[in-house]
Structure 1
Amino acid sequence: MRAAPWSPGPLDDHRPEPAPRVLPYHRLAHADPEHRWWKPLVELLLFGAFYLVLTVVFGIVWAVGLMAVRGEEAMDDLVLDATALDIMDPAIFFMLFFSLVLMIPALLAARAIMGPRPIGLLLSVTGRLRWGFLARCLLVALAIYALGHAAALLLELAMLGTPPPPRPVAGFWWLIAMIVLVVPLQCAAEELVFRGYLLQTVGRWLRRPVFAILLPVPLFTFGHLYDAWGLLAVAVMAVVAGWLTWRTGGLEAAIALHVVNNVVATLFGAFGLADPDAQESTGLALALSAAMQVLFAWLAVRSARKHGVEVTRTVRPPRPAVLGPGAPAWGGPGAGAWVCPGPPACPGHWAGQAPGPVPQRLP
């Protein structure tokens, strides 16, 4: 019997399987075989372009809505004196916080184009948000912040006497609704960018987690307008959140810490117990916030260990293709190809490679 004109190489392959790779969170980009070092730079450009378009559209819609409700003079006041914005004005509050939420769809769209995939690798090593772990972290953070601020209140009572009574600001219930619905999304958006995208971007290039944790800290810190004490408090939170993301294999603990911190701060402002526009802080406030965040980090890691939360992702490299007998690789070593055996099985052709790469893989 004459052999078929095109015959595949042998299926038997006794080479050992490629060793699996165990990747921590900041190295998850290497789970994608299409990973390239330059891709996060293009992803950043796409993210910036998408975010710019979304914020412009949102700004127009918000301005039209504001003028429809309050009249055209409302926009005139904002344009003439933008430095006098009252963050506790419900309209201003919504504009400032929701504009940050738009980073979520912008970054996800950029990641969908550039990879790595699945997109959920931005959230955790499992490729998804681990809701149970997030809920436990939220409860732990709420308990710590409640105890911490209660202790601060008792100290204030002992030193200064009776504090002033709460004085809810105008539009109080609108603010409460936005604090519950918008602030958590704003915190998740910042974590997705500063502890998700940036940690994994640095991790594409540098193996050690300390670089992935610390290099994004200045970008997050100087995005806030505070004095030296306030900026130090933000930097401490950035370091704790980055360490938690690496140590727990995902963003859940960092999101929980950020959400509770911001919700508590804005609630104090809504009740008139703190000035949300204040840019000055103190060493005592820094010590209190740092102590609460370090305690939370310790308890969150213990919870992750107790409940068996995955902190790494195991990836098996693709098995190299099988080559036909005696055939050189098509396009490089290990690519594989179908082979024409030449006459007489394939009259008129000399033995050689097929005119296209058709790699054969083991089942």
Structure 2
Amino acid sequence: MNPYDESRPPPPRRRGPRPVPPGVPYHRVLADGRRRIWRGIAALTLLVGGALLFSFALTLGSLVVDTMLGRDSVLTGGSELTPLAMGATLLGLALLLPWSMLIQRWLYGVRAASLHSVVSRFRPAVFGRAVLVIVPVWAVYMTAFSAFTPVDEVPWRFADLLAMLAITLILVPLQSAGEEYGLRGLAFRVAASWGRGPRAALMIGVVVSSLLFMALHFAADPWLNVYYFTLGAALALITWRTGGLEAAIVIHAVNNMIAFLILILLRSDPATMMDRSVGTGSAALLVPCALLVAITAVVWWRTRDSGPALTPAGLHEYEPRQEQEAR
């Protein structure tokens, strides 16, 4: 029986979570023969609305505290991006992780754990291998890239340095994971469920999730938008080939953490990281775009024989079988 035959009627409804379909790639878990476009739009609206609401509520709380402490926060038109404001922004994005799982369970009936990977659990082995490869590669790239990027040193309070360091080590990985579960997890799956076949589904899923990722950064600079779209597309394709979010989380988190650590070490203005106005980007951003394309190509090449990881064929299988598809 062809697992991609979506002409078959969906199975009868049953109590409890809807079972994950066997033998399908990560992005096709929500597909069931009916495209459910309006349900998908509702899911994406809830995802974006949650991201905005969480960020607004937490940054408003940080603004109140900063005002009480006499800090000149950028949120009130000042010049300081305080640790509290930065932490609130990152925490708001981190909340997308449970929020995405809740939306998937509520609107599609699929258990939350399936958002981790095709085997419905987080895979430490995949995560660990990605860390061993990505950390040294990204450290070299970011260090070299920063060496050719002029920065202006600004005075920092020692307490702010320590607070920013703690935020970088604790909240940045959670923020990156939240974005991955929201965009490369839920949004990728929702948009892919609109496609009739595996190739059309993949294209729709990659494009829609990447455009949404780009739009959520609210960048006015065209070079920054090219970079954000490329990052989103690369991570979506890597998620498809590896069958889960582990590698995408590593790339996203390592990129953001090293960027923050360099900012702290050089004592540059943290507000510059949030400036996405016209002129803040340049053609130099094609360098990280090329690196992302290269990493995606390597992942694709390494899975050229096995194909993308698929959901288990049986209920008692704990490793995804591999099958060739859309190479």
Aligned residue identity for 1:144:
V
Q: Which residue of 2 aligns with 1:289?
A: 288
Q: Which residue of 2 aligns with 1:227?
A: 221
Aligned residue identity for 1:169:
W
Aligned residue identity for 1:290:
C
- 2:34, 2:146 → 1: CA distance? 54
Aligned residue identity for 1:128:
R
Aligned residue identity for 2:108:
G
2:131 is the counterpart of 1:130:
no
Change in Cα spacing, 1:203 to 1:63, as seen in structure 2 (3 Å) is same
- Asked if the contact 2:55–2:88 (Cα under 8 Å) also holds between the matched residues in 1, the reply is no
- 1:50, 1:164 → 2: CA distance? 34
- Asked if the contact 2:210–2:232 (Cα under 8 Å) also holds between the matched residues in 1, the reply is yes
Say how many residue pairs are matched.
284
Once the two structures are TM-superposed, the CA of residue 28 in structure 1 deviates from its matched residue by: 0.7
Q: Which runs of 5+ in 2 are unaligned?
A: 5-22, 316-327
- 1:232, 1:49 → 2: CA distance? 24
Once the two structures are TM-superposed, the CA of residue 312 in structure 1 deviates from its matched residue by: 1.0
Superposition CA RMSD, Å: 3.6
What's the CA shift string for 1:167-207, capped at 9, x where partnerless?
78331111111111101111111111111111111121203
- 1:164, 1:112 → 2: CA distance? 45
Q: Quick one: which of 166, 169, 176 aligns to 2:165?
A: 176
In the TM superposition, 1:211-250 aligns within 5 A as 211-224=204-217, 225-250=219-244
Change in Cα spacing, 1:172 to 1:24, as seen in structure 2 (3 Å) is same
In the TM superposition, 1:45-84 aligns within 5 A as 47=47, 58=58, 62-63=62-63, 65-66=65-66, 70=69, 73-74=70-71, 78=73, 82-84=76-78
- 1:248, 1:168 → 2: CA distance? 44
What's the CA shift string for 1:233-260, capped at 9, x where partnerless?
1111111111111121111121111111
Q: Which residue of 2 aligns with 1:330?
A: none
- 2:241, 2:212 → 1: CA distance? 21
- 2:124, 2:304 → 1: CA distance? 16
What's the CA shift string for 1:7-56, capped at 9, x where partnerless?
xxxxxxxxxxx6655211111114x7999665434444655676677556
Q: Quick one: which of 177, 180, 198 aligns to 1:191?
A: 180
Aligned residue identity for 2:239:
T
- 1:90, 1:283 → 2: CA distance? 30
- 1:91, 1:121 → 2: CA distance? 33
- Higher mean C-alpha displacement, 175-184 vs 223-232: 223-232
Q: Which residue of 2 aligns with 1:256?
A: 250
Greater Cα radius of gyration, structure 1 or 2: 1
2:299 is the counterpart of 1:276:
no
- 2:87, 2:237 → 1: CA distance? 30
Once the two structures are TM-superposed, the CA of residue 232 in structure 1 deviates from its matched residue by: 1.1
- 1:252, 1:203 → 2: CA distance? 19
Q: Which residue of 2 aligns with 1:312?
A: 310
Once the two structures are TM-superposed, the CA of residue 290 in structure 1 deviates from its matched residue by: 1.5
- 1:236, 1:212 → 2: CA distance? 14
Once the two structures are TM-superposed, the CA of residue 128 in structure 1 deviates from its matched residue by: 1.3
Q: Which residue of 1 aligns with 2:26?
A: 25
Aligned residue identity for 2:292:
Q
Aligned residue identity for 1:276:
M
- 2:124, 2:223 → 1: CA distance? 34
Change in Cα spacing, 1:174 to 1:194, as seen in structure 2 (3 Å) is same
Superposition TM-score, scaled by structure 2 size: 0.72
Give the percent of matched residue pairs that are identical in Structure 1 and Structure 2. Answer: 24
- Asked if the contact 1:137–1:300 (Cα under 8 Å) also holds between the matched residues in 2, the reply is no
Q: Which runs of 5+ in 1 are unaligned?
A: 1-17, 318-363
Superposition TM-score, scaled by structure 1 size: 0.66
- 1:46, 1:165 → 2: CA distance? 40
What's the CA shift string for 1:110-130, capped at 9, x where partnerless?
223233422122221111111
Q: Quick one: which of 80, 99, 121 aligns to 2:92?
A: 99
- 2:281, 2:57 → 1: CA distance? 35
Aligned residue identity for 1:223:
L
- 1:101, 1:182 → 2: CA distance? 8
Aligned residue identity for 2:137:
I
- Asked if the contact 2:54–2:93 (Cα under 8 Å) also holds between the matched residues in 1, the reply is no
- Give 1 or 2: higher helix fraction: 2
